[in-house]
Structure 1
Amino acid sequence: MATYKKRGYKPKTKVEKQDDLEDGSATAEVFNTLDEGASRTEAWVEKNQKVILGIVGVVAICVLGYLAFDQFIQKPKEAEASNEIFQAQKYYEQALTAEASDSLYVRSLNGGEGKLGMLDIIGEYGSTEAGNMARYYAGVSYLNMNDYPNAIKYLDDFKSDDILMGAVAKGAIGDAFIQLNQKEDALKYYEQAASFNANEFTTPKFLLKAGVLAIDMGNASAAIKHLTALTETYPTSIEATKATAYLGRAEAMK
């Protein structure tokens, strides 16, 4: 056991002298071990310094390359894409409320008045946020024009964490699959839409769609699951009243 020794203390007995010698030997051994480890490390570094410098150089080049790409290419491209999409987005918004909307959707997709359309934006600025939004606009445009395969294609390529748009895009894919009579696929996307950032605006809507479709497919358990989740989690929603009636039908199917 280690004991405290006062400053200036000198061993008096042979035992104490032996202890001091052993302590000094142990300490020297520790320092020798550290020295040997440091020497081996230095030798390894010296032997592999070209490789190490190469790795450091590659990492530095990658970091500097990314920063340069973001600053001098991506950011200007984002700004350019935001300007280019303006007219196509205007056509799209007009089409949503117009009676004869197909021609406006076509202009939104293909461009007009010397401006790019959504498809051009996707082709030239696909990596930008505007290019990503163009996929959503294109998908909804095709859906409203009854071109369901293209609607699915562009909406499935659209990526968003937005609480509403992400869910609406998934639900719109479900609508397109309904029109193609691919009910299993439609149910899958309605379920994805309902669980996408669950909220009181879109979740009740897609839970109801999933429940009604499950009834139509003869899938009572899935219908009960979705309709029950709707009535219990969102009891004050508009959809909850309808869900109650459908829930009775689903339970009668079992």
Structure 2
Amino acid sequence: MAEQNTKQAGPVMDESNNGNEAFFLKYKTAIIGCFVALVLIIAGGMWFKSYKAEQNEKASTAMAKAQDNFMNGNYELALNGDSTGVAGFLKIASEYGSTDAGNLANLYAGLCYANLGQWENAAQSIEKFDYSDDQMVSPAALGALGNVYANLNQLDKAVSTLTKAAEKADNSSLSPTFLIQAGQILEKQEKKADALKLYQQIKEKYFNSVIVQQNKIDEYIERVSE
């Protein structure tokens, strides 16, 4: 059901923007994939660095249950909890906002909203996430936010956020993905010269990335160079 809701939701555009609309509908699977990848990064790399504070420990316990619901695709339950006392991300963020877990709950809440196609709420929740200086979770969160802006048809904001995510990550795993996403949005805006700069940046700076090693970046460069 969550998948069905997500497919039905999307940016509202007029007839003059049919090209952009087709792009986002086609690209939505990749966008949701970015969300899933973000969650896996969080689960494997971040989780909660400190269990010293009692509040953080309580929040962490609640987060574990909410995350299970999220990973099982129960986005409504993960977001809002239930009447049996299982807390959702919204409640965790509200009650434990000063903890690492509460901060992370904002991000998860945004991902739930995104998977439900509620893009305005998704943006508001992810914007509440307090970004740190790490090179994985924070860039991935920015990348997710950039994709949310794209679905809201805030294209300039999407490009800016995605390029910021790439800069913050500064690695061959995440940066090329965000730059490609930003470049594709620029292409749909008929800003081929700007897209070309991003594609060339990938080739020159992230030459160890898969997209460069497999020579796929050349296809992007060739397309915007015509």
Give the letter for the 1:247 counterpart.
I
Matched, 1:210 2:182: yes
* Aligned pairs, number: 171
Q: CA RMSD in A?
A: 1.6
**2:145 and 2:161 in contact (8 A); partners too:** yes
Unpaired runs of 5+ residues, structure 1, are 1-73, 96-103
Could you tell me how far 1:189 is from its partner in structure 2? 1.0
Matched, 1:88 2:60: no
Give, in whole Å, the separation in 2 of the partners of 1:196 and 1:231: 18
Query: What is the correspondence of 1:119-130 to structure 2 with a 5 Å cutoff?
Result: 119-130=90-101
Give, in whole Å, the separation in 2 of the partners of 1:245 and 1:214: 16
Could you tell me how far 1:203 is from its partner in structure 2? 0.4
Higher normalized contact order (CA 8 Å, seq sep 6+, divided by chain length): 2
Give, in whole Å, the separation in 2 of the partners of 1:128 and 1:170: 20
Give, in whole Å, the separation in 1 of the partners of 2:146 and 2:158: 4
Identity of aligned residues (%): 33
TM-score with structure 2 setting the length: 0.71
Q: Please identify runs of 4+ aligned residues in structure 1 that moved more than 4 A.
A: none
For 1:9, the equivalent position in structure 2 comes to none
Could you tell me how far 1:197 is from its partner in structure 2? 3.0
TM-score with structure 1 setting the length: 0.64
Give the letter for the 1:108 counterpart.
A
**2:172 and 2:208 in contact (8 A); partners too:** no
- Considering fraction of residues, name the structure with more helix: 1
**1:208 and 1:239 in contact (8 A); partners too:** no
SS of aligned partner of 1:196: helix
Unpaired runs of 5+ residues, structure 2, are 1-51
* Bigger Cα displacement from structure 2, 150-159 vs 241-250: 241-250
Give, in whole Å, the separation in 1 of the partners of 2:70 and 2:137: 16
Give, in whole Å, the separation in 2 of the partners of 1:174 and 1:83: 30
Deviation readout 1:23-81 (Å, 9 max, x if unpaired): xxxxxxxxxxxxxxxxxxxxxxxxxxxxxxxxxxxxxxxxxxxxxxxxxxx92211221
For 1:165, the equivalent position in structure 2 comes to 137
1:233 to 195, 202, 205: 205
Give, in whole Å, the separation in 2 of the partners of 1:93 and 1:207: 27
Give the letter for the 1:162 counterpart.
D
Query: What is the correspondence of 1:78-157 to structure 2 with a 5 Å cutoff?
Result: 78-95=56-73, 104-112=74-82, 113-157=84-128
